[in-house]
Amino acid sequence: MSDETPQKSPAEVQAEKLIRRQKRNLRKAEAEGFMAGICAMLRPGDTVLDCGANMGVVTAQLAATPAQVIAYEPDPFAFARLTDRFADTENVSLINAAVAAAPGTVRLMRAENFDENPEGASVKSTILSGGRSIAATGGIDVQCLSFLDILRDLARPEAPLAFVKMDIEGAELEILETMLEQDLFSHVRCLVAETHERKFKDLRPRFRALRAEITQRFAPGHVNLDWI
């Protein structure tokens, strides 16, 4: 009996691609509906964070509410676009920095095709090494702020942040793990994050453990890891 993995037919490969695309489209629709609900509930005096703002798709939705929006984006290319779009928007503050579990100066690594398509590839920029389709060399040094310090400065359990969106290409893992350890989710009314286990194969066991604990402890309306 052969131990070799059976070769998939082209039809099977295509079918798997279509299934993944359908699941992604469904998650996208769910995320858009969830976001619309969040925006409808934001009120004057609320503070919201857009971590990994890129060029401002979510920032724009939040800016249309009465909330105060703080958008963090480390990539200079994306931040320039963000500035062009929101520099004169009164309820939006822009910060050219990454967020992670600890502060400092970090290396921002870019996608392999960044030079050919910076607008499309800037969304993949990451401060974690070993990511799929990330250039092994190059990159730029950027400022990094501690999300945990930001959270403690801006919020308390009795006055939580209204909303946090986190799409930071893998750096969310250590932040969320630490928030669990230090019981900091009470500082946020609602947090959504896109997790990047597909991008970082070696981190998948930690992502699975994180998802299991968050699913057990929090309602999806409070902490939602299926953002896209």
- Reduced to 3 states (helix: H, G, I; strand: E, B; else coil), residue 129 is coil
Domains in the chain: boundaries: 10-224
Q: Is pLDDT at 4 greater than 80 in this prediction?
A: no
pLDDT per residue over 89-110, tens digit each?
A: 999 999 999 999 999 999 999 9
pLDDT per residue over 9-46, tens digit each?
A: 888 878 888 887 887 777 778 888 889 999 999 999 99
- In the chain, where do the E strands start and end? 47-51, 68-72, 92-95, 98-100, 104-108, 140-146, 163-166, 191-193, 223-224
Q: Is pLDDT at 2 greater than 80 in this prediction?
A: no
Q: Which CATH number fits domain 10-224: 3.30.200, 3.30.70, 3.30.1490, 3.40.50?
A: 3.40.50
Dist CA 49 CA 163 (whole Å): 6
- The set of residues, in sequence order, having a beta carbon less than 8 Å from that of 204 and lying 6+ positions away, is 197
Largest CA distance in the chain: 69
pLDDT per residue over 120-176, tens digit each?
A: 999 999 999 989 999 988 899 999 999 999 999 999 999 999 999 999 999 999 999
| Position 1 confidence tier, pLDDT thresholds 50, 70, 90 | very low
Which DSSP category does 194 fall into? B
Instruction: Provide the β-strand partners of residue 143.
Output: 105
pLDDT score for 21: 80
pLDDT score for 19: 82
Q: Which helix (H) or strand (E) holds 174?
A: helix 172-181
